[in-house]
Amino acid sequence: MLDLSDNNFAGPIPHELGALSMIGTLRFSSNRLTGPIPQELKNCKRLFHLDLGSNLLNGSIPAEVATLDSLQYLLLGGNKLAGTIPDSFTATQGLLELDLGGNSLEGVIPSSLGNLQYISQNLNLSNNRLSGQIPSSLGNLRSLEVLDLSANSLSGPIPSQLSSMISLSAVNVSFNELSGQLPAGNWGKLADESPDAFRGNAQLCTHPGNAPCSQDRSRKTGRKNTQVIVALLLSTFIVMVAVLCAIHYIVKRSKRLSAKSGSVRNLDSTEELPEDLTYEDILRATDNLSEKYVIGKGRHGTVYKTQFAVGKQWAVKTVDLSRCGFPIEMKILNTVRHRNIVRMAGYCIRRSVGMILYEYMPEGTLFEVLHERTPQVALDWTARHLIALGAAEGLSYLHHDCVPMIVHRDVKSSNILMDAELVPKITDFGMGKIVGDEDADATVSVVVGTLGYIAPEQGYSTRLTEKSDVYSYGVVLLELLTRKMPVDPAFGDGVDIVTWMRSNLTTQADHGSIMSCLDEEIMYWPEHEQAKALDLLDLAVSCTQTACQSRPSMREVVNILMRIDESIIISEHHKK
């Protein structure tokens, strides 16, 4: 991390920063920096937080930098940036916040912004020179909480598709040239709560029945009478054609399904699943679910590695439908969208077997990375911090950004998949609960989870709480720091990693003794990185407190992890 914010630095941003390929955070906000944003920043492949706001930067926004897959926070507001907003945002990006407000950007709002499916905190394009219509693709941003498009020259109606933005808690579209009515959903409520956020649009109808809504209706009445007659004739013809097409389609589809049952429903065309993929195709690709294709077995099913024809590799999870976990897992995976949660590409149901298809993760699980690889996988501070942060952000999304809240209930290192870049992705929702869902309740009747990860309160309380996930996450942090399993023979009978670590922290107060409890590799890190590892240990202990109400929330955990990466001083209580 490099934080030079809130200073008086002037001049251009050095191009040499592009050589920092492993850096995670760059914060240069609130200075007097000038010149363009260096294109070389595109080489910072681990960069997840870029804050250049409140400077005097000019030139255009480099598309290669703005569309880095690793970026989660891109904050460029309050500069003199010009040109257009890059129209190359993709569904693989993990942006949570995008702030381009207070610049001199021109052109239209790019429709590719609708691909930013993980953006949840803020999308700010205010105080620019943007024109044209608001793209309907913004309706895809179902997790976005704050949208600010104010003080531009946007025109036309607010697309009805924006009614799908169910998480919006604040909107500002004031001082544009918008017209028509507001989208359905919570837009009317937002206009009632913050009328100033919609002012400055003379033709925008915020309350039906008032001007300009009533004027617009009276002006259109005469024209509509003629249009209605034409529309009726045209619609009758269209309906007849549609019925004939539907009959043809149904007949054709029934013939196809009679030959091939158990077709796979592809949920995402970008996942490149073959068209008309069937249950039989999966059996053929896995040699009738042969053991040689098995890459994992768990409580809720067996996972196979496969490839359909010539193309990318896939993981196929098979589940016995007589178990209750499959419906809830499908329901959760079909609704959540986050870069740190595995994406379901499709599913298939055939008699008593259900199958879930998702992208194959070449590094396996975090458990395998920590405990089973020979030779051992080297993990520096940056890798461990990003693994901890990614898993925390995935859980924080489930707990705080999903409505209703989702509790995983089986968080463990073997349920965290690792992609080729060691980006963690939470998987296996077979024991998950949607709190408040009509098919779930706020209590549980049996203890669920995996030995060593189960929170103490689950042994005596039937109340469902997300703090059980926090405890399990804390155990994963201890694994990440020690490379020891949650229940290890070295601890002794009946002793788990939480009890073992607390005992060592109580009896060994000096820095060296505490370090000896951690992974041997950490002993060779620079002193400031060892200090960060000890801060991470403090967080793990906090997450695994016996009293569930004393544990932090996952949102607080994410904030703590962000602060830990800023710390380079060994805490006093860790010194000898």
Return the domain boundaries, the chain. Answer: 2-215, 265-359, 366-574
Percent of the chain with pLDDT over 90: 38
Cα–Cα–Cα angle for 364, 369, 374, rounded to 5 degrees: 110
Strands 301-307 and 313-320: antiparallel
Q: What is the C-alpha separation between 165 and 222, in angstroms, rounded? A: 35
Give 33's strand partners: 11
Residue type, 55: N
Q: What is the C-alpha separation between 142 and 134, in angstroms, rounded? A: 16
Backbone angles phi, psi at 132, to 5 degrees: 80, -170
**DSSP states of 315-350 as a string?**
EEEEEETTSTHHHHHHHHHTT---TTBPPEEEEEEE
Answer yes or no: is pLDDT of 576 > 60: no
Q: Which of 17-31, 256-270, 310-324 has the lowest mean pLDDT?
A: 256-270
Q: How many other C-beta atoms lie within 10 A of the C-beta of residue 493? A: 5
CA dihedral 462, 411, 290, 282 (to 10 degrees): 90
Q: How far is CA 463 from CA 243, 337, 442, 446, 467, in A?
A: 52, 27, 6, 11, 11
Which of 129, 144, 47 shows the shortest CA–CA distance to 85? Answer: 129
What is the tens place of the pLDDT at every residue in 523-540?
999 999 999 999 999 999
What is the tens place of the pLDDT at every residue in 504-519?
887 766 777 888 899 9
Q: What is the pLDDT of residue 272?
A: 58
Q: What is the C-alpha separation between 278 and 157, in angstroms, rounded? A: 43
Region 63-84: mean pLDDT is 89
Give 318's strand partners: 302, 355
Q: How many CA atoms lie within 13 A of 536 on its CB side?
A: 32
Per annotation, catalytic residue among 410, 428, 496, 535: 410
Q: What is the C-alpha separation between 151 and 468, in angstroms, rounded? A: 45
Query: Binding site annotation covers 317?
Result: yes
Q: What is the C-alpha separation between 380 and 369, in angstroms, rounded? A: 13
Which two structure tokens, joined as six digits, stand for 223? 């024209």
Evaluate whether 2-215 and 366-574 have a shared fold: no
What is the tens place of the pLDDT at every residue in 340-398?
998 887 777 776 677 888 888 889 999 999 998 888 899 999 999 999 999 999 999 99
Q: The pTM is what?
A: 0.55
Percent of the chain with pLDDT over 70: 80
Instruction: Specify whether the CB–CB gap between 91 and 67 falls below 8 A.
Output: no
What is the tens place of the pLDDT at every residue in 202-245?
888 887 655 556 554 444 444 555 565 566 666 666 656 555 55
Per the model's pLDDT, the better-predicted residue between 310 and 1 turns out to be: 1
* Sequence-separated (6 or more) residues with CB below 8 Å from residue 341: 394, 397, 398, 425, 426, 427
Q: What is the C-alpha separation between 94 and 208, in angstroms, rounded? A: 38
Strands 353-359 and 313-320: antiparallel
Which stretch of DSSP H or E encloses residue 494? Answer: none
What is the tens place of the pLDDT at every residue in 187-202?
888 888 888 888 888 8
Q: How many CA atoms lie within 13 A of 450 on its CB side?
A: 22
Instruction: Specify whether the CB–CB gap between 138 and 165 falls below 8 A.
Output: yes
The residue count for the chain: 576
CATH of segment(s) 265-359: 3.30.200.20
Strands 129-132 and 106-107: parallel
CATH of segment(s) 2-215: 3.80.10.10
Which two structure tokens, joined as six digits, stand for 324? 């209750």
Q: What is the pLDDT of residue 258?
A: 35
Strands 433-434 and 146-148: unpaired
CATH of segment(s) 366-574: 1.10.510.10
Q: What is the pLDDT of residue 50?
A: 92
Q: What is the C-alpha separation between 268 and 358, in angstroms, rounded? A: 10
Q: What is the pLDDT of residue 238?
A: 67
Answer yes or no: is pLDDT of 251 > 60: no
Residue type, 165: M
Answer yes or no: is pLDDT of 259 > 90: no
Q: Which of 162-171, 273-282, 329-338 has the lowest mean pLDDT?
A: 273-282
Residue 53, classified by CB atoms within 10 Å of its CB into exposed (0-12), middle (13-18) or buried (19+), is buried
Q: What is the C-alpha separation between 545 and 27, in angstroms, rounded? A: 33
Active site residue 410: yes
Instruction: Specify whether the CB–CB gap between 207 and 213 falls below 8 A.
Output: yes
Per the model's pLDDT, the better-predicted residue between 138 and 354 turns out to be: 138
Q: What's 288's DSSP letter?
A: T
Q: What is the pLDDT of residue 488?
A: 84
Cis peptide before 375 (omega within 30 of 0): yes
Average pLDDT, the chain: 82
Q: What is the C-alpha separation between 306 and 314, in angstroms, rounded? A: 5
Three-state DSSP state, 239: helix
